[in-house]
Structure 1
């Protein structure tokens, strides 16, 4: 108010502020000051609405600073984009594959660590109808033990050979060298990622796994590899309930939005709301393939017009709903090419 009163009485021609049509401007841009409510509306409009299209932080900042200005504008834009739940869910993770490779320890002697597997369902050969495969991790020596149901651990142990002490140090050195080379090569496409224990993270299981606090009705194991986890800076809940494993067959019930995929061969896609699932779990699916898979689904009776323009079925009261024009993108093969202008051959035109 003090700034507005001062500018209304006498505008400071040397300062960055000016008063134009009753609006305070800072170097020609609309000044929002410390009005957090209006700032959030501007951020929402220039990032989540169709004019922004969920652009990255640099693009959103460039769009806003052309028209508006307030203190710490760049910092606020960066925090808003990083906490956008839609961007976290839809945009790919550009970091290297999370979680460094954790190889098993190299054993110090033969038969200290083995891997076992059963091959069953074989035709009877003599008295055997199954094979136990035992591979020593140290020497890579394999045992193929014929078994006959029923069999016991004592029956298998009788066929194992004694330890081979000769060449143990040489074999161990080669294994460690090969393992280090494999780890170094694999870690070129991986990155280290960690999360603090607390809130929904109950404990850390090993170097690259975490135990999460899941709802009581969850039917999945609570331990996840770090490659399956992302750090969420926002507070918006993805879906109020978990999908049920005992729900009947899900079919498309509604086409919420339409769009065309990018590339030389554009494909029409639709944001599909599935039966027995909330609208938050809608997914983008190719419409032609979906029609072939579910030819009598109720979604095809609610889809919009196929003409060019806005064909999105309106969403029920929900912020941030956008529509995408139908039809292939401009410049795609299906958009058609201009006809080539044919000119007469100059050699024959001069002779006429």
Structure 2
């Protein structure tokens, strides 16, 4: 009851361990008080949901042990955001930690955990056998799909860096707070691709699509990078425009000829 009063009430303010302990120690003391206060604050459901750790994790880096045989311990990482070459823009690098021999496997967006596993079996396990360990230096964007209420309107996929382990008696919240729900007019999702073009950005050709958005007027169409759209909305199928032959080359963000952007009368609003 005292811990609840000095920490969880409006007077307590959900302060951290030190402030809560000092305020409580000014009034009362009991044996094991410091441990009880620390455990109570760590297990506070509200603090776990609303606060984040601002300190750098302690500890020193330790070198990995030297393997005894080749292709026993591997390191794996992705090289992303490369200029496209025959549709490929990602390289999966697999390196044997003993011999330093590497495999460079080309990938296309979008790819999944299943497709990566199948490719790993085909290109690595088929040649070198099953490794004992794999160290992932950079696994790209790792995310979890959470089970949310059926009537929820927010996206169920969250980056793993935004999630943390719950401590204490975790309270399952059946319904999401109203402030997290999207209104119907705020739910913007690509509906249709109306045209395409290729714009030159820092000397690199960047394919773009003219996208019509859900819950927006037809004149509110926007030019979006095609690769970005495929990454953000993998389930949305972009129309194939035969290597964008119907579009124009847009240099510096301004088309050479406004009437050549797309073969349609609908264009984005001028800024």
TM-score higher than 0.5 here?
no
Mark the structure with the bigger radius of gyration: 1
